[in-house]
Structure 1
Amino acid sequence: MPIAGTSHSRRLLASIHDVGPRFEREVDQLVDRLSHHLAGPRFAMLVVPDHWGQAPLAQARAFQAKLRVWASSGVEMFVHGWTHRDDSGSAGFKAKHMTAGEGEFLGLSQNEALRRMTEGRALIEDIIGRPVAGFIAPAWLYGPGARAALGQVGFALAEDHMRVWRPSDGAVLAKGPVVTWASRSPARVASSLAFAALARTALKPLRTLRIAVHPGDTGVPALLDSIDASLAVAVRDRTVGRYTDLLKRN
C-alpha cells in the first residue's frame, strides 16, 4: 500500500454510510472489511442520529461507546442527516422514487435543515468528544434550504455524489462520482456492479477517488466481492487518506 505522501499524491477516501445502532451488526462487518483492505480504521463514518425514527443514538449507550473508540482510533465522523427519511412531503419524485424516500434534506426549509444539522452535530460531538469532520446529506441530496443552512452551521466539509466542497466559501475540494453499491433490487445490484467494474479503470485519472459502502451491501455476496475488488485495485496506487486532508491543500 502506498505510504502517505505529498499533496500531489492520488488519494483514496473510503466511507461507511448509515452508521448507527439500527445497523450495528452490519457496520461491524464493514469495519472489519475496510480495515483489512486499508490496513486499519482509515475511513470515515456517516452517523445517523435516529435512523427512520426507530434507532435513537442518544439512547444507545453501547453503540456510543463504539463510536468513541472508532473516533479515537482515527475514524472521521460525519453528521449524516437526522432520520435519513424524507418526511417533508415536498421533495417529489427524486426523493420518493430514486432514494426510496430517504432524501431527508431535499425538501426541508432552511430553518428545519439548520435545526437538524445543529442538533445532529451537538449530539455526535458530545458522544465522541471531538469535532465532526463535516456533514453529508442522506442519499447525497440537498435542497435549497439545506444548502443555505450549511453556510450557517460552520461544517468544515460537505459532500454530494459528484464533489466534496467547503461550505464556508463553496470551494470545490474534490470532483468525480462516488463509487457505491445498491442492494435494493436486482436491477440496482446489477447496475452498481457494472458501474464499479467500469470505475476501476475509468476513474483511475481522478486525483481523489471516493468509495462508499452501506449496511445493505453486507447481505449481497456479489456486492461484497465487488467492494473487495474495487478496494484492492484502489490501494495499489493511491494513498489511503482522510477527508480533512482536502482542506490542507486548498
Structure 2
Amino acid sequence: MTKLLLASIHDVGPRSESAVDHLIDIMAPILGGMKLAMLVVPDHWAQAPLAAAPAFQTKLRGWADQGVEMFVHGWFHKDLAEHSGMAAFKAKHMTASEGEFLGLSQDEAARRMADGRKLIEDIIGRPTTGFIAPAWLYGPGAHAALAQSGFAMAEDHMRVWRPQTGEVLARGPVITWASRSVPRQRSSKFFAALARHTLHGQRVVRIATHPGDVTVPSLIASIRATYAAFAARRPAARYAQLMGPV
C-alpha cells in the first residue's frame, strides 16, 4: 500500500499573498518542491476580488504551471446565513462566520460553485482539481449542488470523495491549526503533536495550513515539525493520485 502526504494552503487570494508566500517558503523545502494544493477564494469576504487583481492572477497561473493543484474554495468564504439546529452548532463552534456553504440553497450553491470554477480555470488555463467548502462545512443545498457540479473531487474534515458517485477516495482527519484564540492554538498544536505519533498508519495523511498561521510563531514551529515528520516516511503527492494513475 502506497502511503501519501497531501499538503494544502487554504484561503489563497490577493489579500493573503504575503502569507501564502511565507507558507510556501516553509513547506516547499520539506515537500521537495511545489507539491501542494491551493484553495482559492474568488472574493474573500467581498473585499479581495481575484477578478480585479491581474498581478495575483499571473502569480496564480505561475503556481499552477509549477504543478500546484487548484481547488475552488467557495466564493466569499464568509457565512451570512441564519442557522438552526445542528447547523447553528457547527456555525458557532466549528468556524468563525467562515462556513459560507453551510446554509446556502442548492441553486445559490451551484451558482457560486460554477462562477468560482469559471473564474479560476480562465486564470490558470486548465481544469481545477475540485471543490472544497470554506471551513469544510457543507449544508444540504451544497451537497446537492456538488453532486451535479461536475467537480472531480471534494473534501471535508474526514474524507475526500467523488461528488457524482459518493465514492470515498481517502479517509482520516485533516491535520490543521487554528490561530484565532490561544485555546484554539493550544488544542490544534496538541492534535498535531498527537497526529505525528498516531497517524503514520493512515494510507493518506492530509495537512492543511491557513494564512493566519504565519502570525503565531508556535504554530509555525508545529507546522514545520508536522510536515517533516510525515514527509520523512511518505512522499508528498497530488490529490489527483487518489483518482488513479496519472
Shorter-chain TM-score range: over 0.9
Aligned mate of 1:207, from 203, 206, 212: 203
Aligned mate of 2:68, from 63, 75, 100: 75
Q: TM-score, normalised by structure 2?
A: 0.97
**8 Å Cα contact 1:102-1:139 kept in structure 2:** yes
Residue 95 of structure 1 and its aligned partner are, at CA, apart by 1.2
**8 Å Cα contact 1:50-1:82 kept in structure 2:** yes
Q: Residue 149 of structure 1: SS of its match in structure 2?
A: helix
Partner letter of residue 67 of structure 1? L
2-side partners of 1:170 and 1:245: how far apart? 17
2-side partners of 1:86 and 1:232: how far apart? 34
Instruction: Quote the residue 2:56 is aligned against.
Output: 63
Residue 239 of structure 1 and its aligned partner are, at CA, apart by 1.6
Partner letter of residue 84 of structure 1? H
Aligned mate of 1:148, from 144, 152, 158: 144
Where has structure 1 moved over 4 Å in runs of 4 or more? none
Instruction: Quote the residue 1:105 is aligned against.
Output: 101
Partner letter of residue 111 of structure 2? R
Q: C-alpha deviations, 1:50-86, integer Å up to 9, x for none?
A: 0000000000011100100000000000000000010
Q: Work out the percentage of aligned pairs sharing the same amino acid.
A: 65
Residue 98 of structure 1 and its aligned partner are, at CA, apart by 2.6
Q: C-alpha deviations, 1:8-35, integer Å up to 9, x for none?
A: 3110000000000011110111111111
Higher deviation after alignment, 32-41 or 74-83: 32-41
Partner letter of residue 178 of structure 1? V
Residue 124 of structure 1 and its aligned partner are, at CA, apart by 0.2
Partner letter of residue 243 of structure 1? Y
Aligned mate of 2:184, from 166, 181, 188: 188
Residue 167 of structure 1 and its aligned partner are, at CA, apart by 0.6
Unaligned regions of 5+ residues in structure 2, if any? none
Partner letter of residue 21 of structure 1? P
1-side partners of 2:94 and 2:166: how far apart? 26
Instruction: Quote the residue 1:33 is aligned against.
Output: 26
Aligned mate of 1:132, from 110, 113, 128: 128
Q: How does 1:48-59 map to 2 (within 5 A)?
A: 48-59=41-52
Q: How does 1:211-226 map to 2 (within 5 A)?
A: 211-226=207-222
Partner letter of residue 115 of structure 1? R
Residue 38 of structure 1 and its aligned partner are, at CA, apart by 0.7
Aligned mate of 2:90, from 94, 116, 127: 94
Unaligned regions of 5+ residues in structure 1, if any? 1-7
Residue 88 of structure 1 and its aligned partner are, at CA, apart by 1.9
- RMSD, aligned CA: 0.9
Residue 236 of structure 1 and its aligned partner are, at CA, apart by 1.0
Q: Residue 59 of structure 2: SS of its match in structure 1?
A: helix
Count of matched residue positions in the alignment of Structure 1 and Structure 2? 242
Residue 246 of structure 1 and its aligned partner are, at CA, apart by 0.2
Aligned mate of 2:17, from 24, 28, 42: 24
2-side partners of 1:138 and 1:148: how far apart? 16
